Structures are given as C-alpha cells and as structure tokens.
Amino acid sequence: MELKLENTTYSTGMFSLGPIATRIPEGSITVIMGKNGSGKSTTLRLMHGDLKPSGGSVTLEGKEVWKIRPVDLARRMSFVAQEINDPLSFTVKDVMMVSGYARDLNEAEMLDSLEIFNIRHFLYSSFNSLSGGERRLVTIAASVYQGSDIMIMDEPTNFLDVDNQLLVYEVLNELKRKGKTIVLAMHDISAVSAISDYIIMLKNGELVDQGPTSRTLTVENLKKVFNVPFRTYRTDRGVGFISPAIKGGNEVPLEES
Ligand SMILES: Nc1ncnc2c1ncn2[C@@H]1O[C@H](COP(=O)(O)OP(=O)(O)O)[C@@H](O)[C@H]1O
Ligand SMILES: [Mg+2]
C-alpha cells in the first residue's frame, strides 16, 4: 500500500514544515527522528490525514489521505498518538472497540492483542485509571487489533519501563515480518539503530536526510540534527553503537572508535 509525500508542506503562523518528498518503504520500519518541535508529530498527522497539507500532497494508493473516508482509512492505517487522553470514561474494551470499529468484531483477537502485552486482565478497567505506561500499551494493543497494513505510532515507547520497551520493539519486528508497514517517531538512538530500516531526519521542520538506516544513522547526521556531540563505540561483537557524549558522564566500558 503506497504512502507517498510529494512536495508536502504544512504551515501554521509559528511553524512551517517541509517541503518533504518521501515514499514510505512497504513491509519495513521507518523512523522519523528530530528534536522536540522539529515536526515529527506534524509529519505523522499529515500521513494519517488528520492534517491537510498546505502545499503538495500526501497520498495513499494515489488518493489524498485527508480526503479518504475515516472508515476506509481505518481499514488501511492505524495511528497511536503521542498524547493519550480520554475525555470520556472508556473502559479498555471500549478503547479496543473504537480502534477496531471498521473491522469485524472478534473478541478472541481482541483478547489476544491485549495478551501480547500482558494486559488482558485490564479489559474491563477504566482506561483513565491505568498508569501512563499501561495506557500506552493499551493504545498499541488497540492498533494491533485494528489490523491495518500501515501502522503509525508517535513515540510508542514513551512512559514504558525497559522490559515493556523491549516487548514493544519485539512486537514491531514481528508485525514487520508479517508484512506491516510501520512508521514511528522515536528518540532512543540505540533502539532506532536496532529496529529501523529507513530513517527520515528533520530539523526545524526541514528534511535533513533520509535513506536506509545503514547510510543515514551516522555521527555526522546526528550531530547536524541534535546539535550535540556523539560518540561511536565498537562492542566485542563488532556492533557499532552511538550515544550522546555526556559531559562528565561515566566512561562507557566499551572501546571507543
Ligand atoms: N495545533 C498546533 N497549532 C500550532 N502549532 C502547533 C500545533 N501543533 C504543533 N505545533 C507546533 O509545531 C511545531 C512542530 O511540532 P511537532 O510536530 O509536534 O514536533 P515534534 O513531534 O517533532 O516534537 C512545534 O513548534 C509546535 O509547537
Ligand atoms: Mg511529537
């Protein structure tokens, strides 16, 4: 399912994004990187048709995304927002039902999607009573249940403890193996290095670079995007590792290269 941005711009009085041209590689994991306020969420919301581009286009199978009927879009694309707030008093089951409203109801699959994240027992809990991390897992489980080919998630591992972060990354890889096209905004550079196939780098709303992770995730690009020094390390397994160079920080017990 082709998701394409062509000469896409978006402007508010204070902020302007783009022009961005990209074609999201299908069946792989694309990550949008950039500082806070660089336009990651805006780009994801344009991809999901929540925003109408000021110029250029965002198309899914050749159709402008913002013009696609919500029910048709929901069958093709899911969206996990960065901010989670439920103004209504939904149960977890309600959240799952809303996310899956465009598909056939399948309670067994709904429970399976929750079980992946070990949160099946929350089915009848009030969504608002859960912790930030638990709510985050519910929204990810809901997008798994939705079952669309393209899955967009804005900082999906925010609020999660380390083992749940790893679980989410494992699930994303599994979804990729099943052929899903995944687009994420993410900050954790070592995680980006481990799971992404393609990277789009933004700075102040401008596209700095994009391409396969092996080519784009470089110290030079990171320095350009984040304005801080980075170090690369080589582990005993020969795997390259990049981390911010923290002033006065502990020496990392790895060989610096
Ligand atoms: N609804 C909005 N109205 C006006 N400005 C907004 C709105 N949403 C985001 N912005 C601004 O647009 C810029 C980009 O925001 P965003 O895309 O959320 O960045 P990121 O996700 O990379 O942190 C920021 O300066 C932000 O303050
Ligand atoms: Mg954001």
100 is written with which tokens? 């899956």
What pLDDT is recorded for position 89? Answer: 86
Ligand at minimal distance from the CA of 39 is 1
Pocket of ligand 1 (CB under 6 A): 12, 14-15, 34, 36-42
210, 216 in Cβ contact below 8 A? yes
Give me the residues paired with residue 20 across strands: 8
Pairwise CA distance, residues 95 & 252, whole Å: 43
Give whole-number Cα distances, 228 to 125, 223, 224, 233, 240, in Å.
43, 5, 8, 16, 19
Question: What pLDDT is attached to residue 118?
Answer: 97
| Residue nearest ligand 1's atom 17 by CA | 39
Give the mean pLDDT per block of 10 residues along the chain (257 residues): 96 94 98 97 97 97 96 97 82 95 95 97 95 94 98 95 95 97 94 94 97 92 90 67 72 53
Cut 0.85: pTM above it: yes
Beta bridge partners of 41: none
pLDDT, position 77: 98
Query: What is the distance between the alpha carbons of residues 66 and 191, in angstroms, rounded to a whole number?
Result: 31
The full set of domain ranges for the chain reads 3-226, 228-257
Q: Which CATH number fits domain 3-226: 3.90.79.10, 3.40.50.720, 3.40.50.300, 3.40.50.620?
A: 3.40.50.300
> Residue 133 is inside which H or E element, if any?
helix 132-146
Please choose from 12, 46, 51, 204 the residue to mutate so as to test ligand 1's pocket, defined by most ligand atoms within 8 A of CB: 12
CA 154 – ligand 1 centroid, Å: 13
